[in-house]
Amino acid sequence: MWLSTFMTNNNERIEKNSVIIEIRAGTGGEEAALFVHNLFRMYSRYAQAKNWKIQTLDSNQTELGGLKQIFFEVKGEGVFSKMKYEGGVHRVQRVPKTEKGSRIHTSTISVAVLPKPKEAQIKINPAELKMDFYKSSGPGGQYVNKRQTAVRITYLPTGLVVTSQTSRNLEENKKSALSILEAKLFEQKMEELESEIKEKRKSQIGKAERAEKIRTYNFPQDRITDHRIKKSWHNIQKVLDGNLDVILNKLQKNLS
């Protein structure tokens, strides 16, 4: 698969034991936001089972307990080799908690797995950054909106904006926002290299683009289907509780 080949050729550029993951709600409104929370919990449970460390860098919570988006870092042995297959569109089919009837809704969320660049791979000139500080917003308890600890960083050359507001400490939020920015700039750099290689080959080679639907979670049929390898598994709740190896091991075998 192209993703495997491309990343293998660029392994010297990345920290194999650290990734930043972005989960973002797509179509489906509050139901999509609730599923973002479900997947974040799934990855957190999986990380715990693997003895990996997980740190939330930024999140945007809804009133019903969902997440419009969340950025988090996962550190641990072999984390990139496992998690790189999670990038893409995840589709959920179920009766939402907000549904008064029994209609099945289809919602989507996107997952981006951003490999962390090794030191010196991404150099950011402080003069090219604009930093704004503001009060945290949204659900979060008594400490929200007390002080200006949230951080917004704009990368002036491209207008790319990242934020962090999960910590009560301004410096910690600055550090988290810079980590997100570095990962996103590195992703752009890798995409540019990828485009150059594609142009040279003059052919379309498969890659897990974010826009591609990679997996469906069908709750009425208690079935998870990964569309890349056309393989299905039952017992959705077990997988959502963090038992991901049954899927990821199969993906590694078929896509590596």
Spatial separation of the C-alpha atoms in residues 256 and 227, rounded to whole Å: 16
The number of distinct structural domains making up the chain is: 1
Spatial separation of the C-alpha atoms in residues 231 and 104, rounded to whole Å: 23
Q: Give burial (CB, 10 Å; 0-12/13-18/19+) of 120.
A: exposed
Span 101-132, pLDDT tens digits? 788 889 999 999 887 776 656 778 889 999 99
pTM of the entire predicted model: 0.74
- pLDDT reported for residue 36: 96
CATH number at residue 246: 3.30.70.1660
Compute the mean pLDDT over every residue in the chain, rounded to the nearest whole number: 82
Which structural domain range is residue 251 located in?
2-255
Spatial separation of the C-alpha atoms in residues 124 and 126, rounded to whole Å: 6
The better pLDDT of the pair 38, 10 is held by 38
